[in-house]
Chain A
Amino acid sequence: MAIKYTLQGLLIYLTIAAFLAAFVSTIARRRTTGQWFFTLGFCISLASYVYRWIDGRHVPLQNLFEVFLCLGLVCYPISLLARRGLRIGGQWADMLIAAIVLFPAGFVFHAEQQHLPPALQSWLFVPHVAVYMLGYIFMAMAAARAAIQLATASQPISGKILPFEQATYELIALGFPLLTLGLILGSIWGKRAWGDYWGWDPKELWSLASWLVYAGYFHWRYMFGKKHPRLNSLWAIAGMAVIIITLLWVNLSRLFPGQHSYAT
């Protein structure tokens, strides 16, 4: 754990503080203040991302520091879409997720600028990683609703808000096309860079596994969704667990040497 005594570090810490303030205010039933802090946190995270972009002269999605910076950035718009567009409740969970994903960027991964290696110099680089980041946040927010459903027997009483099980499904349904697109773009990129559209690389296999968990979720829910709604939620949480492994473990662990290991 290392503190970053730089402008970049300061912006990250301010964002985390704003997101945590939003979370605390919302659970203390000061919703308007919570929303205000959430918006403020988003503005600072946008400034932080743009600063990194200008400083490095390429879209900041190259290593884990930049990837987590991006994850922190996309939480607010996705949460807004869920609340306004889909009538999904539990925004306090999104505020917490936003703070948590910025933690590794602030305290764990080093922020040293790196040149883009030849393999990453492709027009597919940005869309491939960006759709995955968006997809991961949808799935994280879905897993949070699934956990709320499991932890609380009660459901939202207000008819204006979707039941948490339904909310989990809606978020996964929006995120699944993004995971699919990420997988396909990665495959096409692999073909252009290395000659194979599928290299059986550990990172590829883990992302296939996470995609399959969600495919399993859809079929399970179709078959038994009404009878065992709590088990649906377990699928959603399992999917998130596999995503976390895909994102982190493969990069950090020496267990899986592969073509994606530059991305640490």
Chain B
Amino acid sequence: MIRLKRAVLWACLMAIAALAVLSVYGAFLGADRAQTFFNSVPVAVFWGAFAVLLGAGIVAFGRLLWVPSLLLMHLGCILVVIGGMWGSQPGRDLQERFLGTERIAKGRMPILEGTAENRVAIADSNVTKELPFSIRLRKFRIEYYEPGDLYIYSRDGRRWKLPAEAGRSQTLGRDLGRVTIQRVFRNFRMDISGDERIALDAPGGSNPALEVAIERPDGSTARRYVFLQRAGHNNPSDPLALTYSQSVRDYISELEVVRDNEVVASKDIEVNHPLYYGGYHFYQHSYGQNQFGDYTILMVVADSGLRIVYSGYAMLMVGIVWHFWGRPLRSALRNRRSNERDENR
């Protein structure tokens, strides 16, 4: 028995070390190739052996069975591995073959604004499959942080950032002078009447721009307009380059689920807030524009084995916290109580 125990523990150490080495190897491959690698048949065999080894550990070592924290953490690991294998591509293929479950595992859905779509382009293939319901994109929009930022670059590689608000200014040092934002336009327009050119903020439309004053070290002042939507031309002899940009706060797709010509659900989805319907999660993935208008690209994912993995996480976490934090905490409390008792005597 002792021999068996030793063999199991040695195998455990080897398996843990091998998985650590494979993880480092996977990190060098990059996410896509690592995914293929960890789903390949030889590695799938390794995953299976790892789960069996954990099981063998529980059988061989009484303590792993009788000490609840140890049991929970090792069982948790088994569940994570099994859930992961169940949800992996080879696992799904096997389910399809033997259980006849045919679901879209993962794919992309481009949807044009104002239209409904039920076709899903399956990941890593040229196949398209259909959902039993459609998703309509009411509107796609991008929200930005207000205000935007003015970036100032010097020829020698220095960079400054200023919030795009009138009155903000930045000293650039003795050699470059000072930059001040004088006006912020929502819709910039230049009116030319005779010799005079007047910059104005016209109602309606959208052409955000900044009027910037550059006070040079020699005392002269130059005025420049920096546009949000256009990169602008920088004179090669100019010591400064300016750009105006806004950071994206969120990508939002306003979606409706349509079944038999009826809207059965709706949600404005954004990154971190997917829509869940009919066993599928719909994630904001990407967006674009073509001759017909704006479109969004949703990522469609059917969860498989997720509950097993999450149950494994819960058991692992409870087991580990109980084992490593619970026991010392209890013994510390016990010590304190006995100290108090000693003092009271």
Q: Which residues of A contact B (CB under 8 A)?
A: 85, 112, 114-115, 117-119, 121-122, 170, 173-174, 176-177, 180-181, 184, 187-188, 191-202, 205-206, 208-209, 212-213, 215-216, 219-220, 222-223, 242, 250, 255-259
Say whether B27 contacts A256, CB under 8 Å: yes
Closest-by-CB residue of B relative to A176 is B324
Q: Please name 26 pairs of A and B residues whose Cβ atoms are closer than 8 Å in the assembled complex, sorted by A.
A: A115-B247, A177-B324, A180-B316, A180-B320, A184-B316, A192-B273, A192-B274, A193-B272, A194-B299, A195-B106, A195-B301, A197-B306, A197-B309, A199-B35, A202-B27, A202-B31, A205-B24, A205-B26, A205-B27, A206-B27, A208-B23, A209-B23, A209-B24, A215-B16, A219-B13, A257-B30
Alpha-carbon gap, A205 to B283, bound state (A): 23
Contacts of B309 in A (CB 8 A): 197
Closest-by-CB residue of A relative to B305 is A197
Say whether A213 contacts B20, CB under 8 Å: yes
Contacts of A195 in B (CB 8 A): 106, 274, 281, 283, 299, 301
Q: Does B166 contact A (CB under 8 A)?
A: no
Say whether B270 contacts A258, CB under 8 Å: no
Alpha-carbon gap, A187 to B312, bound state (A): 12
Contacts across chains A and B counted by CB atoms under 8 Å:
124
Number of interface residues of B (CB under 8 A): 49
Q: Nearest Cβ in chain A — how far from B26, in angstroms?
A: 5
Q: Nearest Cβ in chain A — how far from B99, in angstroms?
A: 22
Q: Nearest Cβ in chain B — how far from A62, in angstroms?
A: 12
Contacts of A213 in B (CB 8 A): 20
Closest-by-CB residue of B relative to A259 is B31
Q: Does B321 contact A (CB under 8 A)?
A: yes
Alpha-carbon gap, A194 to B325, bound state (A): 32
Q: Does B71 contact A (CB under 8 A)?
A: no
Partner of B23, one of A115, A181, A212: A212
Alpha-carbon gap, A170 to B325, bound state (A): 10
Of B125-133, B204-212, B248-256, the one touching chain A: B248-256
Say whether B13 contacts A258, CB under 8 Å: no
Q: Nearest Cβ in chain B — how far from A108, in angstroms?
A: 16
- Assuming the contacts A118-B270, A121-B250, A257-B30, asked whether A198 and B84 have C-beta atoms less than 8 A apart, the reply is yes
Contacts of A180 in B (CB 8 A): 316-317, 320
Q: Does B56 contact A (CB under 8 A)?
A: no
Say whether B13 contacts A216, CB under 8 Å: yes
Say whether B320 contacts A119, CB under 8 Å: no
Q: Nearest Cβ in chain B — how far from A127, in angstroms?
A: 13
- Assuming the contacts A184-B316, A197-B306, A206-B23, asked whether A219 and B324 have C-beta atoms less than 8 A apart, the reply is no
Say whether A205 contacts B23, CB under 8 Å: yes
Alpha-carbon gap, A242 to B324, bound state (A): 22
Contacts of A122 in B (CB 8 A): 272
Contacts of A255 in B (CB 8 A): 28
For the residues of A in contact with B, the DSSP-based class is: helix
Say whether B306 contacts A191, CB under 8 Å: yes
Say whether A174 contacts B325, CB under 8 Å: yes
Contacts of B27 in A (CB 8 A): 202, 205-206, 209, 250, 256
Say whether B17 contacts A216, CB under 8 Å: yes
A-contacting residues, B240-275, CB 8 Å: 247-251, 270-274
Q: Does B122 contact A (CB under 8 A)?
A: no
Contacts of B26 in A (CB 8 A): 200, 202, 205
Q: Nearest Cβ in chain A — how far from B158, in angstroms?
A: 11
Q: Nearest Cβ in chain B — how far from A92, in angstroms?
A: 24
Leading 5 A-B pairs by shortest Cβ distance: A118-B271, A200-B34, A202-B27, A212-B20, A209-B23
Contacts of A215 in B (CB 8 A): 16
Say whether A118 contacts B248, CB under 8 Å: yes
Q: Does B224 contact A (CB under 8 A)?
A: no
Say whether A121 contacts B28, CB under 8 Å: no
Say whether B321 contacts A177, CB under 8 Å: yes
| Additional A-B contacts beyond A200-B38, A205-B24, A223-B10 (20; CB < 8 A) | A115-B145, A117-B248, A118-B251, A121-B272, A176-B320, A177-B324, A184-B313, A192-B272, A192-B274, A195-B281, A195-B283, A197-B309, A198-B84, A200-B34, A202-B26, A202-B31, A209-B23, A219-B13, A222-B9, A256-B28
Say whether B35 contacts A200, CB under 8 Å: yes
Q: Nearest Cβ in chain A — how far from B129, in angstroms?
A: 17
Say whether B30 contacts A202, CB under 8 Å: yes
Say whether B249 contacts A115, CB under 8 Å: yes
Q: Does B161 contact A (CB under 8 A)?
A: yes
Q: Does B19 contact A (CB under 8 A)?
A: yes
Contacts of B13 in A (CB 8 A): 216, 219-220, 223
Q: Mark B16-48, 1 if CB is under 8 A from A, else 0.
A: 110110011011101110110010000000000
Contacts of A121 in B (CB 8 A): 249-250, 271-272
Alpha-carbon gap, A24 to B145, bound state (A): 46
- Assuming the contacts A85-B332, A177-B320, asked whether A193 and B299 have C-beta atoms less than 8 A apart, the reply is no
Closest-by-CB residue of B relative to A222 is B9
Closest-by-CB residue of A relative to B332 is A85
Contacts of B281 in A (CB 8 A): 195
- Assuming the contacts A117-B247, A197-B306, A219-B12, asked whether A184 and B84 have C-beta atoms less than 8 A apart, the reply is no
